[in-house]
Each structure stands twice: as structure tokens, then as C-alpha cells.
Amino acid sequence: MRAYKAARATHARMDHDWETRRCAAVRPVRERAMTDVRPDAPETAPDLPESKLTATKQKWAREGRFLTGRVARTGEDRLPPGQHLVKDWPVLDLGLQPEVPLNAWALDVDGLVAHPAHWDWSAFKAQPQSDLVTDIHCVTTWSRYDNRWDGLLTRDLMAMVEPLPSARFVVMHSYDGYTTNVPIEDFAAEDALLAHSWEGQPLTRAHGGPVRVVIPHLYFWKSAKWVKRIEFIPADRLGFWEVRGYHERGDPWTEQRYSE
């Protein structure tokens, strides 16, 4: 457990350094209307390119697939236990922020899927676009409300590649060598996406641009920055922080911080 304690201390120290440097103010909570979250991409007329996607999502709805209700909370218990609000946005990573020019960027979606995808930047941007507003909850105890993201919903991505019934977990791989794992139901949350923009601007390199994952209902270490590969697998495989003692699942409302 030495490695785990050291990793935990390093992670905490990164956050502490940031907070003493930038001293985030705690502000009153602005209520978020449920309408801020737009989990579904606009459903389109049958002949448009999205028809396959729409049909797949309708099929899942009929079969009850991925209907987990796992989304971030909005009401009175919006701030998870042990968290405090920050106004700025801390940067946390392994000390390495890979520079990935758009013309060298690509995303692979593979593993247990019917139609593996390899998208360069223009192919990625041609996928269905959605925008939504979500909260961030970092395991090192800061939370940040109302982040507006633009990108590809994980559900839309899944409708394109069609995970096989044997796909039970998802591993995200990043350009800095980072990995993180989630059950497929968490990846498929209605408010999870692959974001390329934040507050209407391209996501900065520090925050994981060109593209990062955002899974709002889990601690933020599950949201891979600089994502380059999404892999669907049959059984759980721990990622970078998970092998260092972080929880497999990371639910902020039950404080699944560490796996002791």
C-alpha cells in the first residue's frame, strides 16, 4: 500500500498547491434548471444521417439497455458530501500535458464493438453534436458547478459503434499514458460526453484538449483528458489511479474515494 499512499499524497498536494496559489472563493449556489441538461441530441427526420443513430437509441429504449438513470444530481443534494465549491477551475494531471495538434489527433473506438471507429479531427467533428451543462466533483474535494460542454454524447458514440452484449466495461486511454475504467452503464450516462469545447471555446490543452471525456456523476479522475482511445472490454481492468488505490467506481455521493 506504499505506492497507493504516495499517490494519494501526491494527488492531494497538487490540489493543495493549486488552492494556496489561486485561492478559490466559495460562492452561493446558483440553481440549475433541469432544462440545462439536454441529454438527447435533437431527434431528426428519418432521411437524415442521424437516422441510424436514432433507430439504435430507440431500439435500446425498447430493450431497456443502458437505462440506468445514472446522471449527476441537480437538486438539494447537488454538492456531494465532503466537497467544497470552487469558482476557478484547477488543473490536475500527471505533470505532463501532451500537445496534440488537430492534424495529428485521432480517436479509436474499439474492443467489443460491432463497428470499430477511427476518427480524425474532421470525422470526429462530423459526429452528432450536443451541448450540456454539468458539475465537476474532484476526489481531492473541490467541486465546480455549471460547466458548459460541447461535443459527442457517449450514447451517440455507442450508437455508432454498437457495443456487443459482452461489453461490460470501458477503458479510456489518453495521449499522456493515463487510463481510467468505468462500467459501461456509467460510460453510457445520459449526461456523459466527449467534449471539445468548454464555455463555447475550444478546450485548452491544460484541461485535456483537443478532446476529453466528461462523466459528471463520477469523480473527475474518471474523466480522461487528451483521450485517444475508447476500449470496450468484457471484465473490469483498473486504470492509472485505480491501481494506486482509488475506487473502482468513484461515486461522489457515497464518497467512493479510495478502495480500502
Ligand X SMILES: Nc1nc2c(c(=O)[nH]1)N[C@H]1C(S)=C(S)[C@@H](COP(=O)(O)O)O[C@H]1N2
Return the number of the residue (65 or 98) whose C-beta is nearest ligand X. 98
Q: β-strands 84-85, 142-153: how paired?
A: parallel
Q: How far is the CB of 60 from ligand X (least distance, A)?
A: 28
CB 241 within 8 A of CB 152: no
Give the number of other Cβ atoms within 10 Å of residue 47's Cβ.
7
Q: How far is the CB of 227 from ligand X (least distance, A)?
A: 7
Return the number of the residue (109 or 139) whose C-beta is nearest Mo ion. 139
Q: Is 119 in the site for ligand X (CB under 6 A)?
A: no
Q: Is 66 in the site for ligand X (CB under 6 A)?
A: no
Q: Which does 97 bind (CB under 5 to 8 A by kind): ligand X, Mo ion, none?
A: none
Q: Is 83 in the site for ligand X (CB under 6 A)?
A: no
* Dist. CA 45–CA 61, nearest whole Å: 18
Q: Which does 185 bind (CB under 5 to 8 A by kind): Mo ion, ligand X, none?
A: none
Return the number of the residue (3 or 126) whose C-beta is nearest ligand X. 3
Q: How far is the CB of 121 from ligand X (least distance, A)?
A: 18
Among 127, 143, 174, 181, the residue binding ligand X under the rule CB under 6 A is 174
Q: Which residue has the cell 494531471?
A: 93
Give the number of other Cβ atoms within 10 Å of residue 184's Cβ.
19
CB 113 within 8 A of CB 234: no
* Dist. CA 225–CA 154, nearest whole Å: 15
Q: How far is the CB of 141 from ligand X (least distance, A)?
A: 11
CB 199 within 8 A of CB 147: yes
* Cβ-based burial of 239 (10 A; exposed 0-12, middle 13-18, buried ≥19): buried
Question: Rule CB under 6 A: which of 125-154 touch ligand X?
Answer: 138
Q: Which residues bind Mo ion (CB under 5 A)?
A: 92, 138-139, 221
Contact footprint for ligand X (CB under 6 A): 89-94, 138, 174, 176, 178, 207-208, 220-221, 223-226
